[in-house]
Every structure is written in C-alpha cells, then in structure tokens.
C-alpha cells in the first residue's frame, strides 16, 4: 500500500509562517470555499454573508476591455431574462463530448473542427466548460484572499469519485485558467470522511452517500488510526438534484399543456421546481404559481395565470425511480468491498439533495441504519477539503491524515489478438505505479504500437480506448527476445501516465493520458454491468483469441524455419507433410473452436519435433566447428 508523507519529521510552523491554503467544493449547483481559522475548518462567506456561491456564470457582450462575467446569485437571478448566456450546472459538461451533453440542455453547443471539446455559444464568444468553471474558481479565490488577508499558496479541489481522467484533467485546467495552484484533487466522499472522521474519531467502516446537484457517488471507506482507505467506489456522474427538478418541470409542463417551452420559460420552470423541492423538505404541500405571457399562451388552452398544489406524496412518486436508481451503485460498491450491510458502522449523507426526506428514508432502509447528517451536507465536502489543504500546505496539524483513494476502472494494454491485458485493476489504491513486461511478436521487430485502454472486459472491442503511442528503436532480435517494460503511473489526482522502455537498449517513450472527452452518462455503469453479465463469455473469447495468437506464432515460426533450413534438413516428402500441417492449422485457427485449435497446435508440434531437433543439432555443430576438445574445457 502506497503511503503519502504528509510533512517532514519534526517540522513546525510559527504563526507568522502559516501558509494560506483553501479547500474548494466545485459543485454542480453551488460551490464553496473553506479554510482553517484558529484550528477550525469553516466555509468563507462573501460580503453579503452568503456561504454558498451558485455555480452560475452570465456572459455579457464584449467591449473594448473584453467580455464581462457575472458569477453567483446575481447571475442566477438574471438567468430567466438571459438564459442562453447564463450557464449553470456546467460541472455536468466537464470533460464530456458533444453527444453526451445535449440532454436537458438549453444551450447552443458548437464543436470546433479538429477538436472533440464542445463549446457553448454566448454573446461573449464560444466558451468551454473549463472556461466557465474557471470563472467560478476565480470568484472563490478572490473571496478567500479578501477573507484570509493574503495570497493563497494553493487549493485542494474536490471532484466526484466517478470523474474519469478527462474530467479530472478538465478540473485542473479550470484551476490553471483561474490562476489557482492545485495542491491536490480529492474525491468528494473522501473529503466528507475527513470531516466526519476527525470530528468523531470513529474508526471502522463508513459509507458516504453523496447526492449533489448533478452527480451521485457512493464510497465505502475504512478509517483506522487516521488513515482513510477507500475500499470501493461507485456512482453515476449524471444523476443528481437537477434530475429531481426536471421531474417537477415535466409534471408542470404536462399540467399546462405546453409541449416545447422556450429557454426563458424553461429557466423559470426550473427555478420554480427547485423552490418546490426545497419547500417540500419541510412542508407537506407547496403552491406553485406561474404566469404565462401572451407569447406562451398561444401554445396552451389554459389560462395565463396558472397555479397548482404539489404534495410531498406526489413529489415522492415522481422522484422515487431516480432515488432507487442510486441503490444500484450502492450494491456494486458493497460487492466490490467484499462487505455486507451489517458490517457498516454508519452512513454519512453529503450533498444538498440528501435533505429530501425520501432520500433519507430509502438510504436508511437500504443500509438498515439512521443516516448521519450532523454537519451541513452542503458544507461538509468543503470543510474536509480545507482540512486536507492545511495539511498539504505544510501547516502543523494535530491530526496526521492519510487519504488513500482508488481508481474506479481497470487500466491496461492491448495485446496480440485484440486482448486487453489489465495492468492496474479497478479499486486499486492511488497514487500507484505498476509495471509489466512485454515482448515482440515477430523476428526483427524494431517498433511496438502501445494502445492504452480502460474497462473490465477481456476484448479490446469492449473496452474504452484512452491513448496510443509508439516505442521505436528496438534492436532487431528474434521474436520474444526483446524485453519491453511498460509502466502505468496514477498520481494523487487520479491522472495517468504510461511509459515504455526496452531494457537492453534503453530506448523509451511515454505519454500523459489526456483523452479528448469523458465517458458518456451510462458508459461506466454499462461497462461494469457487462463485465459481470458477460464474464464467462469473455473468458471463453479470451481463451479462443489466445489460441489463435499462439497458432499464428507457430505458423510464422515454422514458415521462417522452412525457408531457412527446409531444403537442407528435410526431404521433399517431409517438407510437404509440414507444409500441409501448417495449412491445416491456419485454416482451423480461423474458426471459433478453441479446443480444436489447441489440439491442432499439439499435433503440429509433434509433426515438427524432428525438424526442430535437426535444426538444433545443426546449430550446435556450426558453433563447434573448428573447436578443439581441450578448448571446450577451458
């Protein structure tokens, strides 16, 4: 298990040397910044005393200085009047491709030629999700500087546990654009565990159920003497409170008879839906009132002013399928951690959406325990990140903490026959480095194409391609003689680097894996599900491919041997017999019967055994030619 050195032994910091670092929860709906003050972690408020910063950015037209942005509550208030230039829930677009982000989106997305990164068209120009997120981070950075009275040395930024490499890299890029050094990215559930673990000192197995505005994560952690180890993690990077809001919007549209609302009305409906959801957390019923203008009135036979009472019971019926959908990753996380429900000490609730009573009821019933919500579920992630930031900044900490996160999906390489060879398995603790040796397939091979993949299946066609690069300059050798060591390294932020080195010559090549966009909403879930449901089929397919690759190797080796020594060491009849065996093996290898290929390879080995022996004898005789007996004993 890899350990992280937190500080130098005996290192202390005088009060005047205290380094300013913050924890940032870059959320889908709201964002927060927190820091340690007098040893206590607390979120920082703006000049109006507000701690939550709505994750909303309004872009305004460019002038001679450049474009202007409004971030936070004012932008959210302006959204209904300027919906296409006011970007919210941008976290859902981080590291994603164009096809992944069209659902429930009112924005005009464009994709530049040669780039897989979609951009949002605004009056200020086309902006990416990274640039929008950078504006939010700039605001939080400035709030921290004003509140703490000095420049920051860096920040710990939280991300959903199920963010893939592209989404994590996009988050780091946003911080870079904001001029904010990243001390580390940590998973949101882990940050919550830091906050709860330090407050209660409770050791054992904990579950962090994190249902935020746009993402859902479930993490199972083990806390032992200040060490947080993530046993397993699962989730859905496109499921959260926004989806609960959309169910209410769909319900309202059905009531009003409006089929295709324009962007302004949709924004109004979303705001009404969010307010209704929050009201029903404390009340049994809420009254929703909407005024339809003349433009919209033509789309409906209803009156202009419309109101309807929504009860908590009706709301729960609407959202129940979504909440139950979160239990699928919960079951998978338990299975991956090899634990049962009765081994869990407690369940921690994180994210504003966990305030919904039905969420707490379903979670409590599933884990057979009353969930904990002692710390404000909106603030707990930022508080945990602040604690970790203070430690990583080198400030003295009363509690030594160690965070051991995991990688959510297996990483590996393509080998001959289109097989996936896993180098780092899913749920491996990070940071981590793993190396594996490979070799050449053909005689005289001087280059190797390396294909990095992600997934749980046995065949490349069922996995996700991450990157490709080449190792050139391999000294020409017989097949199998070269020794190529491929090293996978995942840093503390979950970012992957892959390098390859030929050991005898020292030639090497490497790549920083930065895929152009992330997994689609259902891909992670589908990849894991398929790995279980197709386990036996995958095993059979792998065995078949392995035999086909071995058959190809045998055929190529025999053809090379016949060309070099066939006429010298074999009679015409023997050559014909071996050639016939090669042809039969080639034909059978094209089929799908693994055992038949295996038996044919064994048969060919027997037929060619005498030829192999003659070649070996000839090689020895050639090596001994001209040598004296006495020379062999010296």
Catalytic residue among 131, 165, 188, 414: 188
In sequence order, the β-bridge partners of residue 317 are: none
> How far is residue 132's CA from residue 75's CA, in Å, rounded to a whole number?
13
Fill in the DSSP letter of residue 459. B
Nearest Cα to Cα of residue 494 among 240, 238, 233: 233
> How far is residue 247's CA from residue 254's CA, in Å, rounded to a whole number?
11
Give the H or E element holding residue 557: helix 535-569
Catalytic residue among 131, 165, 210, 547: 210
Query: How buried is residue 3: exposed, middle or buried, by Cβ count under 10 Å (0-12/13-18/19+)?
Result: exposed
Catalytic residue among 46, 82, 91, 165: 91
Backbone phi, psi, residue 40, to 5°: -110, 135
91 an active-site residue? Answer: yes
Q: CB 539: neighbour CB atoms within 10 A? A: 11
The answer to whether the CB of 25 falls within 8 A of the CB of 188 is yes
Nearest Cα to Cα of residue 255 among 289, 298, 295: 289
The answer to whether the CB of 189 falls within 8 A of the CB of 161 is yes
Tell me the CB-side half-sphere exposure of residue 282, using CA atoms within 13 A: 3
Q: The tokens 């280059």 sit on which residue? A: 447
Nearest Cα to Cα of residue 90 among 125, 130, 123, 52: 130
210 an active-site residue? Answer: yes
Taking CA atoms, 313 is separated from 170, 357, 365, 441, in Å, by 40, 11, 18, 65
> How far is residue 320's CA from residue 244's CA, in Å, rounded to a whole number?
9
25 an active-site residue? Answer: yes
> How far is residue 170's CA from residue 89's CA, in Å, rounded to a whole number?
15
> How far is residue 455's CA from residue 169's CA, in Å, rounded to a whole number?
19
175 Cβ partners below 8 Å, 6+ apart?
A: 134, 137, 155, 157, 181, 182
Taking CA atoms, 101 is separated from 93, 98, 130, 274, 296, in Å, by 6, 6, 14, 21, 27
> How far is residue 293's CA from residue 273's CA, in Å, rounded to a whole number?
19
The answer to whether the CB of 549 falls within 8 A of the CB of 416 is yes
- Tokens coding 388: 């970790």
> How far is residue 551's CA from residue 416's CA, in Å, rounded to a whole number?
12
DSSP states of 47-94 as a string?
A: TTS---EE-EEEEE---SS--EEEESHHHHHHTTTSGGGEEE-GGGGT
Local structure of 159: helix, strand or coil? strand
Measured in whole angstroms, the distance separating CA 132 from the mean position of its chain's CA atoms is 20
In sequence order, the β-bridge partners of residue 32 are: 25
For the chain, the C-alpha Rg in angstroms (whole number) is: 31
Catalytic residues: 25, 91, 188, 210
């Amino acid at each position: 298990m890899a350990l992280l050195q937190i500080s130098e032994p005996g290192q202390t910091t005088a009060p005047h040397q205290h380094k300013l670092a913050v924890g940032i929860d870059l959320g889908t709906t709201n964002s927060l910044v927190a820091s340690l003050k007098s040893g206590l972690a607390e979120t920082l408020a703006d000049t109006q005393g507000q701690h939550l910063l709505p994750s909303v950015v309004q872009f305004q037209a460019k002038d001679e200085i450049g474009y202007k942005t409004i971030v936070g509550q004012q932008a959210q208030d302006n959204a209904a009047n300027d919906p296409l230039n006011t970007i919210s829930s941008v976290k859902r677009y981080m590291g994603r491709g164009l096809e992944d982000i069209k659902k429930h989106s009112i924005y005009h997305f464009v994709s530049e030629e040669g780039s897989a990164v979609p951009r949002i068209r605004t009056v200020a120009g086309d902006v990416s999700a990274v640039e929008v997120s950078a504006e939010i981070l700039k605001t939080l950075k400035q709030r921290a500087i004003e509140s703490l009275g000095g420049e920051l040395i860096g920040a710990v930024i939280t991300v959903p546990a199920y963010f893939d490499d592209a989404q994590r890299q996009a988050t780091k890029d946003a911080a870079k654009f904001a001029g904010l050094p990243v001390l580390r990215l940590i998973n949101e559930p882990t940050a919550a565990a830091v906050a709860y673990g330090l407050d209660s000192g409770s050791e054992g197995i904990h579950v962090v159920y994190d249902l935020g505005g746009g993402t859902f994560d479930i993490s199972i952690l083990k806390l032992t003497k200040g060490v947080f180890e993530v046993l397993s993690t699962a989730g859905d990077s496109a499921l959260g409170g926004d989806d609960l809001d959309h169910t209410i919007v769909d319900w309202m549209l059905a009531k009003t008879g409006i089929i295709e609302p324009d962007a302004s009305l949709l924004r109004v409906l979303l705001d009404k839906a969010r307010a209704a959801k929050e009201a029903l957390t404390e009340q049994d019923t809420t009254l929703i009132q909407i005024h339809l203008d003349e433009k919209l009135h033509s789309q409906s036979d209803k009156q202009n002013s419309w109101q309807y009472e929504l009860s908590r019971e009706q709301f729960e019926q609407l959202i129940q399928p979504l909440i139950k959908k979160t239990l699928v990753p919960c079951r998978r996380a338990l299975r991956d951690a090899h634990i049962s429900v009765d081994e869990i000490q407690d369940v921690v609730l994180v994210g504003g959406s966990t305030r919904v009573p039905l969420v707490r009821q379903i979670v409590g019933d599933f884990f057979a325990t009353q969930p904990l919500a002692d710390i404000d579920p909106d603030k707990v992630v930022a508080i945990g990140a602040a604690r970790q930031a203070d430690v990583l900044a080198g400030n003295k900490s009363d509690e030594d903490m160690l965070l051991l996160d995991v990688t959510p999906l297996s990483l590996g390489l393509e080998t001959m026959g289109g097989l996936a060879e896993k180098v780092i398995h899913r749920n491996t603790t990070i940071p981590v480095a793993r190396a594996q040796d490979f070799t050449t397939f053909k005689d005289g091979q001087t280059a190797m194409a390396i294909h990095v993949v992600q997934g749980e299946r046995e065949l490349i066609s069922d996995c996700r391609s991450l990157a490709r690069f080449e190792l050139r300059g391999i000294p020409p050798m017989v097949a199998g003689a070269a020794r190529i060591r491929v090293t996978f390294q995942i840093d503390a932020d979950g970012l992957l680097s892959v390098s390859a080195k030929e050991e005898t010559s020292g030639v090497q090549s490497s790549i920083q894996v930065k895929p152009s966009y992330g997994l689609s909403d259902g891909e992670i879930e589908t990849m894991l599900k398929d790995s279980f449901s197709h386990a036996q089929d995958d095993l059979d397919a792998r065995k078949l491919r392995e035999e086909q690759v071995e058959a190809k190797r045998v055929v190529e080796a025999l053809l090379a041997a016949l060309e070099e020594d066939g006429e010298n060491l074999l009679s015409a009849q023997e050559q014909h017999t071996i050639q016939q065996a090669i042809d039969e093996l080639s034909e059978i290898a094209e089929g799908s019967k693994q055992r038949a290929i295996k038996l044919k390879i064994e048969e060919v080995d027997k037929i060619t055994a005498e030829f192999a022996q003659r070649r070996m004898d000839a090689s020895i005789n050639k090596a001994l030619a001209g040598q004296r007996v006495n020379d062999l004993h010296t």
